[in-house]
Amino acid sequence: MFKFGFAEDAAGTAEEDNEQKDRLEWIPATKLEITSEQIGAKYETDYYTETEVFPGCKLKLIRSDKVTQDLTDQNCQNIIEAESKHSDLIPAKYEGGLKIWECTFDLGQYILEKEIELKDKLVLDLGCGAGLIGLLSLRKNSAVHFQDYNAEVLRSVTIPNVLLNFDDRTIILTKCEFYAGDWASLATLLDESKKYDYIFTSETIYNPDNHKKLYEVFKTKLKVDGTVFVAGKSYYFGVGGGMKQFENLILKDGCFDVESVWKIQDGD
According to DSSP, the β-strands at 122-126 and 143-148 are: parallel
| Range list of β-strands (E), the chain | 2-6, 30-32, 48-54, 57-62, 122-126, 143-148, 176-180, 196-202, 222-231, 256-260
Cα 236 from Cα 267, distance rounded (Å): 10
The predicted model scores a pTM of 0.89
Q: Is 172 in contact with 162 (CB distance < 8 Å)? A: yes
pLDDT tens digit sequence for 183-214: 999 988 998 889 999 999 999 999 999 999 99
Please provide the average confidence, as pLDDT, over all residues in the chain: 90
**DSSP string for 73-118:** HTT-HHHHHHHHTT-S-BTTTB-STTS--HHHHHHHHHHHHTT---
Q: Is 2 in contact with 264 (CB distance < 8 Å)? A: no
Phi, psi of 106 (to 5 degrees): -65, -45
**SS3 label, residue 202:** strand
* For range 139-160, the mean pLDDT: 97
In the chain, % helix, strand, coil (3-state, to 5) comes to 35, 25, 40
| Type of residue found at 145 | H
* Among the listed residues 92, 69, 96, 95, the one whose alpha carbon sits nearest the alpha carbon of residue 80: 69
Please list, in sequence order, all residues whose beta carbon lies within 8 angstroms of the beta carbon of residue 86, skipping any fewer than 6 positions away. Answer: none
Q: Under CATH, which architecture does the 2-8+28-260 domain have?
A: 3-Layer(aba) Sandwich (3.40)
Residue 12 banded pLDDT, cuts 50, 70, 90: very low
Cα 11 from Cα 129, distance rounded (Å): 34
Which residues on adjacent β-strands are paired with residue 52? Answer: 58
Considering 4-18, 30-44, 239-253, the range whose residues carry the highest mean pLDDT is 30-44
Q: What is the pLDDT of residue 9?
A: 62
pLDDT tens digit sequence for 21-75: 447 899 999 999 999 999 999 999 999 999 999 999 999 999 999 999 999 999 9
How many Cβ atoms from other residues are within 10 Å of residue 2's Cβ? Answer: 18
Q: What is the pLDDT of residue 189?
A: 94
